[in-house]
Structure 1
Amino acid sequence: MIIEPNSANSLAAAAYARTQAGAAALGDSDATFSGEGESVSGFGAALESAVEDFSSSSKAAEKKASSGLKGQGNLTDIVTSVSEAQMVLQTASAVRDRVIQSYQEVMRMTI
């Protein structure tokens, strides 16, 4: 499966590069990440932004799928939008699983 580059992929890659480059220098949890016209401060705000992106992606996919069922719209756009929504859902599920796994690991620690 070949993933075509798009703005979401390039934003994610840029954000990842910034976090890797600045992780050693920051040393605190109040890191500020900025993307395309937005600035996110802290983990909670980053998580909220990711949830909003997931929501908007799934809504766009639903709209395009419903227009496809009505016989309107471009088939390529519909398939692309549904694939993006699926990828975002898989990413959200992976992050959720990792957070739960980390929480369980912390709970198993002895004090």
Structure 2
Amino acid sequence: MDIRSLSAAQNYTSARPATLANPDHAGSAKGLRAPFTDFADTLRHSEQMAQSAMVGQADPHALVQALAQTELAVETAVVVRNKVVEAYQEVLRMPV
């Protein structure tokens, strides 16, 4: 057995899977993670506002504003998802 192939097999088994985040490269992960956390925070704030409005503790104007922000965030997420799906389909249509 060739020593180079043995070394390659050992390196392959010890390598980090491509789907896992790279802990050494946290800078770009923060840039990608921020929109998702903002989206989750918007949804969480709207839900809390709706719950407090049900018991009469929130201003109706603040509730409408929170719901409008949530609607805009969801519409934006849907548009981004659609663009990603379109790009993926375009890559699949490329000849090999």
After TM superposition, the score normalised by the length of structure 2 is 0.67
Name the SS for the 1:53 alignment partner: helix
Letter in 1 for 2:71: Q
Letter in 2 for 1:78: L
CA distance in 2, matches of 1:103, 1:45: 24
Letter in 2 for 1:49: A
Deviation at 1:73, TM superposition (A): 1.1
Deviation at 1:41, TM superposition (A): 4.9
1:21 is matched with which residue? none
For the aligned residues, what is the CA RMSD?
1.6
Aligned length: 71
1:56 is matched with which residue? 41
CA distance in 1, matches of 2:33, 2:82: 17
Cα pair distance change 1:45/1:96, threshold 3 Å: farther
Give 1:78's match in structure 2, choosing from 27, 49, 63. Answer: 63
Deviation at 1:49, TM superposition (A): 1.2
Identity score, percent: 28
CA distance in 2, matches of 1:80, 1:70: 18
Give 2:82's match in structure 1, choosing from 97, 100, 103. Answer: 97
* Bigger radius of gyration: 2
Deviation at 1:65, TM superposition (A): 0.5
After TM superposition, the score normalised by the length of structure 1 is 0.59
**Going by fraction, where is helix more abundant, 1 or 2?**
2
Structure 2 unaligned runs (5+)? Answer: 1-25
Cα pair distance change 1:62/1:101, threshold 3 Å: same
Q: Which has the higher contact order (CA 8 A, sep 6+)?
A: 2
Deviation at 1:56, TM superposition (A): 0.2
Structure 1 unaligned runs (5+)? Answer: 1-39
1:110 aligns with 2:91: no
